[in-house]
Structure 1
Amino acid sequence: MAIQAAISGDGVVLGRTTLIERDLAEGRLVRPFDETQSCELAYYLLHRKESENAPPVVALKEWLQHIASGD
């Protein structure tokens, strides 16, 4: 349900690559961060490409990066 909401442009989703790899490959979803890390338990923030610069998406990305970095 959350993945479909992100594809429809109604939100963002943190998801596992195995669940969204087809949507990534077909361009329905994009990874907003350039760098990826190998991790057994990793999460990704996904959103529609055209939403990349939307203020709520930018704010969420910045907040998540802040939280993840431990600053």
Structure 2
Amino acid sequence: MICDICGQEDAQVRHVTRSYGKGSDLLIIENVPVVTCSHCGESYLTSETLHEIERIKLHRQSFAKERSVPVAAFG
């Protein structure tokens, strides 16, 4: 894949978990595709991914499933 930042063919898509909001408004979205370039070191979300995240956030009642989530502090 070609990196949108540096134009090299070193970009790869990896999937991560992202959290949005906090407290009772917290929404965790799993399997978010993030483009990462090993040449320039940049990571970014495509416009399509950003639009899908906004759609999920807007319609969270339709997509989200309630889960109990344990939280640990680093260090």
Q: Which has the larger radius of gyration?
A: 2
Structure 1 or 2: more strand by fraction: 2
**TM-based fold match above 0.5:** no
Using structure 2 for the length normalisation, give the TM-score: 0.34
Higher relative contact order (CA 8 A, sep 6+): 1
Using structure 1 for the length normalisation, give the TM-score: 0.36
